[in-house]
Amino acid sequence: MNMKEGVGENSYAKNSSYQKSILSRAKPFIEETIVELYNRTSPQCLTIADLGCSSGPNSLFVISELLKAISVVYQKLGRRSPPEFQVFLNDLPENDFNTIFKSIPYFFKKFSSENGQEVGPSFVAGVPGSFYNRLFPTKTLNFVHSFYAVHWLSQVPQGIENNKGNVYLARTSPSNVYKAYAEQFNRDFSVFLSLRSIEMVIGGCMVITIKGRRSLNLPSKDIRYFWEVFSKTLSDMVSEGLIEEAKLDSFNLPFYTPCTEEVQTIIQSEGSFDLNRVETFDVDWDTSEDYVNREFVCDKIKSGKFVANMARAVVEPIFVSHFGDSTIEDLFCRYAKDVGEILAKERPMTTTLVICMTKNETS
Amino acid sequence: MNMKEGVGENSYAKNSSYQKSILSRAKPFIEETIVELYNRTSPQCLTIADLGCSSGPNSLFVISELLKAISVVYQKLGRRSPPEFQVFLNDLPENDFNTIFKSIPYFFKKFSSENGQEVGPSFVAGVPGSFYNRLFPTKTLNFVHSFYAVHWLSQVPQGIENNKGNVYLARTSPSNVYKAYAEQFNRDFSVFLSLRSIEMVIGGCMVITIKGRRSLNLPSKDIRYFWEVFSKTLSDMVSEGLIEEAKLDSFNLPFYTPCTEEVQTIIQSEGSFDLNRVETFDVDWDTSEDYVNREFVCDKIKSGKFVANMARAVVEPIFVSHFGDSTIEDLFCRYAKDVGEILAKERPMTTTLVICMTKNETS
pLDDT in tens, A101-137: 999 998 888 888 888 767 788 999 999 999 999 999 9
Chain A nearest C-alpha distance from B237 (Å) = 34
Q: Find out whether the peptide bond into A137 is cis, omega within 30 degrees of 0.
A: no
Report chain B residues whose CB lies below 8 A from the CB of A44: 138
Instruction: Give the number of domains in chain B.
Output: 1
Query: What local confidence, expressed as pLDDT, does residue A162 receive?
Result: 95
A73 is a domain residue: yes
Number of alpha carbons in the 13 Å side-chain half-sphere of residue B127: 24
Confidence of residue B81 (pLDDT cuts 50, 70, 90): confident
Query: What local confidence, expressed as pLDDT, does residue A224 receive?
Result: 56
User: What CATH number should be reported for the domain holding residue A25?
Assistant: 3.40.50.150
A88 is a domain residue: yes
Residue from the list A86, A94, A105 with its beta carbon closest to the beta carbon of B137: A86
Query: What local confidence, expressed as pLDDT, does residue A258 receive?
Result: 94
Which site among A101, A102, A107, A130 would you substitute to test the B interface, given the most B Cβ atoms closer than 10 Å to its Cβ? A101
Find out whether B349 and B21 touch, Cβ atoms under 8 Å.
Answer: no
What integer is the mean pLDDT of B233-244? 94
A45 close contact with B: CB closer than 8 A = yes
Residue contact A93–B86, C-beta within 8 A: no
B241 close contact with A: CB closer than 8 A = no
* pLDDT score of B271 more than 60: yes
Confidence of residue B3 (pLDDT cuts 50, 70, 90): low
Ranges of chain A with pLDDT below 50: none
Domain range enclosing B268: 12-217+253-283+349-359
Residue contact B101–A137, C-beta within 8 A: no
B325 is a domain residue: no
B66 is a domain residue: yes
Residue contact B98–A102, C-beta within 8 A: no
A246 is a domain residue: no
A43 close contact with B: CB closer than 8 A = no
Predicted confidence (pLDDT) per residue in A236-260, tens digit? 999 999 999 999 999 999 999 999 9
Query: What local confidence, expressed as pLDDT, does residue A134 receive?
Result: 97
Query: What local confidence, expressed as pLDDT, does residue A221 receive?
Result: 60
A79 close contact with B: CB closer than 8 A = no
A24 close contact with B: CB closer than 8 A = no
Burial of A272 (0-12, 13-18, 19+ CB in 10 A): buried
A134 close contact with B: CB closer than 8 A = yes
Mean pLDDT of chain B: 89
Find out whether B50 and B23 touch, Cβ atoms under 8 Å.
Answer: no
Higher pLDDT, A11 or B341: B341
B108 is a domain residue: yes
Query: What local confidence, expressed as pLDDT, does residue B75 receive?
Result: 80
B178 close contact with A: CB closer than 8 A = no
Residue contact B44–A138, C-beta within 8 A: yes
B194 is a domain residue: yes
Confidence of residue B116 (pLDDT cuts 50, 70, 90): confident
Report chain B residues whose CB lies below 8 A from the CB of A126: 97, 101, 125-128
Cβ neighbours of B246 (radius 10 Å): 10
Q: Find out whether the peptide bond into A121 is cis, omega within 30 degrees of 0.
A: no
What integer is the mean pLDDT of B75-98? 91
A130 close contact with B: CB closer than 8 A = no
B29 is a domain residue: yes
Query: What local confidence, expressed as pLDDT, does residue B290 receive?
Result: 74
Query: What local confidence, expressed as pLDDT, does residue A4 receive?
Result: 59
- What are the helix and strand counts (H, E) for chain A? 9, 7
DSSP string spanning A273-312? EEEEEEEEEEEES-TT---TT-SS-S-HHHHHHHHHHHHH
- E strand residue ranges, chain B: 45-51, 84-91, 122-128, 141-147, 200-212, 273-284, 349-359
Query: What local confidence, expressed as pLDDT, does residue A111 receive?
Result: 86
Chain B nearest C-alpha distance from A101 (Å) = 5
H or E element, residue A88: strand A84-91
- Say which range, A64-78, B99-113, B176-190, B258-272, has the weakest mean pLDDT: A64-78
Residue contact B102–A93, C-beta within 8 A: yes
AA identity, residue A275: L
Pairwise CA distance, residues A343 & A302, whole Å:
10
| A101-115, A276-290, B123-137, B211-225, range with greatest mean pLDDT | B123-137
Pairwise CA distance, residues A221 & B363, whole Å:
63
Chain A nearest C-alpha distance from B92 (Å) = 9
